[in-house]
Structure 1
Amino acid sequence: MKALASPFVVALAAALVVALLAPPATAQSRDAENQLDAIVKNGKLRVCTTGDYKPFTFHDKTANSYQGIDIDLAKSLASSLGVEAEFVATTWKTLLPDFTAGNCDIAMGGISVTLERQKQVFFSDPYLVNGKAPIARCEDEAKFQTIADIDKPDVTVIVNPGGTNEKFVREKLSDARIEIYPDNVTIFQQILDGKADIMIAESVETELQEKLHPGLCAINPEKPLQYGEMGYMLPEGDVIFKAYVDQWVHLAKATGEFDRIYDAHVK
């Protein structure tokens, strides 16, 4: 007569069967709540953006309208879904809490992908490789070639609060004077006016500001001080919406749409 299996063996076997039949923990059923369906249902794509970061996002207060690379791309994404883009004002300091509070569906506007942000949100696949580069008065360009050149007690580094620019200078500079300036639109004029010596920002931004502010020079933007990537901030855990945005980014690049929009704002 065969011995009966112990209750422990029976329970273990049952648990293994359940584990093998269950979907992966990261999978998301189409029936589960997801942002993609909510956007289509609501008829609008809510986009958090700071509006102070040319060439990616800029809020023209006179016309009460937004302009920039990521503004045009947000409209393209919305159009692909058959909805309208609605821009939600935020700041670099409040970007993450505004997004995680559900104030918007996606955040766009030159946002750097960081591990700290990744702990709380999903990111799209990177759409741009970028990095931190200095910008200073052209007569000082030769003086600020390296971090060591910048990190001196007699150098004033100006920075906008709350974003990766401030994080970078606080991590990399210990001797230079760091001045926090709240207006990311007029901050570059402070350098021209001699109220600060240098700013460290994304390399593509320094190249644009060099064109907008004669007398300022982007310093080695082709060789940034730190590697960086930009992506779009998405709701954590929503793999359906992320898959859609990733495919849209891929097609925008493959069809040349991304390059046309980028060139219109940078070149």
Structure 2
Amino acid sequence: MRKKPWLLAGLVLTGVAAWMIWNQQTDAKAHDIFEDHKLVVGTTGDYKPFTYWNEERNRYQGFDIDVIQAFAKAANLDVTFVKTTWPTLSEDTKSGKFDIAVGGITKKVEREVVGDFTSSYFSFQKAPLVKKEDVKRLNSLAAINDPSVKIGVNPGGTNEAFVKKHFPKADVTVFENNLDIPKAVQSGQVDVMVTDDIEALHYATELDLAVPKLTEAWEPAEMAYLMKPGQKQLGDVFRVWIESAEGQEQVQKLKKKWNIVSTRETVGAKGAGAHE
């Protein structure tokens, strides 16, 4: 049976109309950061000194929180923070739960696949956080990879991946809240917290703990902010700001405020980073 021309035309027009309506609805739902002057920021709130939830002040604080707020002020953007977690970070990025995620995020291929990283802003390496009396005992991969050694680690991120790769023989406990692990080291519940050296050095000072002088350099890495897909303009504007004199000045002030230091340069030069 031959279909009538007017019927075919009607079906085509109906299909086009439906696509236009869907496309308009999709565009209406799309969030244009610089037109709306709104920036939605995801953060785990459990990674000092980069991001943590201050119960008393009922808000997020930390180096990365301050940096993204300084950027937003310069770009005339209002910031809204939303909660994410290390196990759900990639999926939350991919789904567009936020425009950009901040808070001690390590650059890795798996995350770049679901989003886009900004320029790196820190270089660091993994490091152990221990009690002061254990700095000479737990100062190498081999020494820590022992059934008698208890390790505390947070789930879903590069710290857990590092522990699984290098310490298969150790007694590993996964803590859902990363903020609980340094206190577990302090109390003796675990012997070692494996984390980024910047966080380890922060807690060494805050809780009177130590970062051992390592016998070998541990894996180096870089930190950056993770944007949801399709945010090239945001990445470009952020890069211009952070590389500007104003941005560099802000970052240096905030590094001093939050006492941001890393062992990586020492390790790279001498093969060991000594901090107690």
User: What range describes the TM-score normalised by the shorter chain of this pair?
Assistant: 0.7 to 0.9
Q: Which residue number in structure 1 is paired with residue 179 of structure 2?
A: 185
Equivalent of 1:138 in 118, 127, 132: 132
- Asked if 1:198 corresponds to 2:192, the answer is yes
Using the TM superposition, give the Cα deviation of residue 45 of structure 1 relative to its aligned residue in structure 2, in angstroms.
0.9
Q: Which residue number in structure 2 is paired with residue 26 of structure 1?
A: none
- Asked if 1:232 corresponds to 2:225, the answer is yes
Contact kept? 2:45, 2:53, Cα under 8 Å: yes
Contact kept? 2:115, 2:226, Cα under 8 Å: yes
Secondary structure at the aligned position of 1:144 is classed as: coil
Q: Which residue number in structure 2 is paired with residue 109 of structure 1?
A: 103
Equivalent of 1:150 in 144, 150, 154: 144
Using the TM superposition, give the Cα deviation of residue 266 of structure 1 relative to its aligned residue in structure 2, in angstroms.
1.3
- Cα deviation per residue 1:32-79 (whole Å; 9 max; x = unaligned)? x8xx98112222211000111110001112321111110011101111
Letter in structure 2 aligned against 1:264: K
The size of the alignment, in residue pairs, is 232
- Cα deviation per residue 1:166-187 (whole Å; 9 max; x = unaligned)? 1110111111111111121121
Q: Matches of 1:67 and 1:58 in 2, distance apart?
A: 6
Q: Matches of 1:235 and 1:186 in 2, distance apart?
A: 29
- Asked if 1:85 corresponds to 2:79, the answer is yes
Contact kept? 1:160, 1:182, Cα under 8 Å: yes
Contact kept? 1:93, 1:162, Cα under 8 Å: yes
- Asked if 1:211 corresponds to 2:205, the answer is yes
Identity %: 32
Q: Matches of 2:246 and 2:134 in 1, distance apart?
A: 37
- Structure 1 residue ranges without an equivalent (≥5): 1-32
Equivalent of 1:258 in 247, 251, 264: 251
How high is the TM-score relative to the length of structure 2?
0.79
Contact kept? 1:47, 1:86, Cα under 8 Å: yes
Q: Matches of 1:48 and 1:255 in 2, distance apart?
A: 23
- Asked if 1:59 corresponds to 2:53, the answer is yes
Q: Matches of 1:191 and 1:71 in 2, distance apart?
A: 26
- Cα deviation per residue 1:64-121 (whole Å; 9 max; x = unaligned)? 1111110011101111221111111111111111121111110001100011111211
Q: Which residue number in structure 2 is paired with residue 244 of structure 1?
A: 237
Structure with the bigger percentage of helix: 2
Secondary structure at the aligned position of 2:193 is classed as: strand
